[in-house]
Amino acid sequence: MKRVVKIKLAPTDAQARALHDTLMLCDTAAGVVSRVAQASEDRRAFALQKAVYHQLKALGLSAQPAVRTIKKVADAYATRGANLEAGNYGPGGGKRATDIAATAIGFRALAAQPFDDRCLSWQQQGSTISIWTSEGRLKAVRYVCAPWQRALLEHRCGETDLVFRDNMWFLHATVDVPAPEPVEPVVVEEFLGVDLGIVNLAVTSDDTAASADWSSGAVTARRGKYTRTRRTLQKVGSKSAKRKLRRRREKEHRYATDINHQISKTIVAQAQRTGRGIVLEDLSGIRERVRPAKAQRQQLHSWAYAQLRDFVTYKAASVGVPVEVINPRNTSRTCYPCGHVDKANRITQDRFVCRVCGHVDQADHNAALNIAYLGYVKYMTTTHGYWAA
């Protein structure tokens, strides 16, 4: 199973300058190759290599980066050729297609550059790398990584990309890890209920109002900021606004993925530690089911509920924790202690007060308890064919 491990570099200022100059040089080289390719009949890597290899060496590229750059340009021309052929730039002979075919392909400055083992070596003991740069071999560039990333690096295979993003340096290393053996699910008698929400991302039946800290400001506020920026950019609609929009989306996606990893890890660890299963709601219909206020609607769209459910499911499966998925109908309107169902029980977003028995709770927490109970019923019914109240 191939995965990419993202390792943050901690270069000194001088090292960072050398890395920067290296990516700039690779970009210049790509421009040189691209202009040659545009003027050539044969744009395959082999033909381009004969034409430009010595020129790239003279620029200061060593052998492997030169070959990689040529390959990158050849690939880009092959893709463009296929797109032109397929009519993806409008009809052949049309203005757009003709313009595109007549212009050399441009490459983004500071684009990621792949390095193989000859140009990049790892000293895992000291957490440093040595890497080819335009200023010669750069030694002892420090990197920082978590223990689990370090373990993955043992399975490194093939090339590693040097990436500059958000003013930081990263290595994206490809690793090939053996697929985990599926673990036989353990038999459980209790379940941890998880309520996924708009304001509080995830509240479990173990939480108290005070401990439900996924809600606390940061995530919500940051999502709000993304939404506003996106609207502004969408209105502008220029080419650079579109590019900014795409980057913004990628950044938001990375952030969501990161949060989902953290939440799912916490939930699965909690269930495993206490010998319980996990219950989630089936939120595939969430857009139709809930009608949040207008300001919240955008946040809801942009959040990857499906991803969170996926993460919980596969992490739970890898440690044998059973997962039940239940219908979310009425989970937020039902009083957990007495079972009374009433929309009016939920008096505000946050507060639950039962109209019949007077039970008071944080609303998402009450829902999480109902979810845990429904999951238990479903599990007992499907696994044992009965359940005892």
Q: Which chain residues interact with Zn ion by CB under 5 A?
A: 335, 338, 340, 354, 356-357, 359
Structure token digits, residue 187? 């038999």
Of 386, 284, 292, which is closest to residue 325 (Cα–Cα)? Answer: 284
Smallest gap from Cβ 355 to Zn ion, in A, equals 8
Smallest gap from Cβ 244 to Zn ion, in A, equals 51
On whether the CB atoms of residues 121 and 137 are closer than 8 A, the answer is: no
Smallest gap from Cβ 361 to Zn ion, in A, equals 10
Cα–Cα distances (Å) from 276 to 49, 91, 205, 313, 337, in that order, read 60, 60, 12, 14, 21
Of 115, 101, 103, 297, which is closest to residue 198 (Cα–Cα)? Answer: 297
Look-up of token digits 């990049």 = 120
Contacts of residue 69, defined as CB under 8 A and 6 or more positions apart, other chains included, come to 26, 29, 30, 33, 56, 61
Residue 28 or residue 345: which is nearer to Zn ion going by CB? 345
Radius of gyration over alpha carbons of the chain, in Å? 27
Smallest gap from Cβ 223 to Zn ion, in A, equals 33
Residue 180 or residue 337: which is nearer to Zn ion going by CB? 337
Residues 317 and 272: their CA atoms lie apart, in Å, by 11
Residues 292 and 288: their CA atoms lie apart, in Å, by 10
Residue 180 or residue 339: which is nearer to Zn ion going by CB? 339
Residues 110 and 338: their CA atoms lie apart, in Å, by 62
Smallest gap from Cβ 337 to Zn ion, in A, equals 5
Residue 35 or residue 359: which is nearer to Zn ion going by CB? 359
Residue 169 or residue 336: which is nearer to Zn ion going by CB? 336
Residues 249 and 238: their CA atoms lie apart, in Å, by 16
Residues 213 and 259: their CA atoms lie apart, in Å, by 13
Smallest gap from Cβ 331 to Zn ion, in A, equals 14
C-alpha torsion 223→229→231→232, nearest 10: 170
Structure token digits, residue 334? 């039902």
Smallest gap from Cβ 1 to Zn ion, in A, equals 48
Residues 332 and 328: their CA atoms lie apart, in Å, by 8
Residue 201 or residue 374: which is nearer to Zn ion going by CB? 374
Residue 275 or residue 337: which is nearer to Zn ion going by CB? 337
Phi, psi angles (nearest 5°) of residue 139: -105, 160
Smallest gap from Cβ 215 to Zn ion, in A, equals 24
Residue 69 or residue 345: which is nearer to Zn ion going by CB? 345
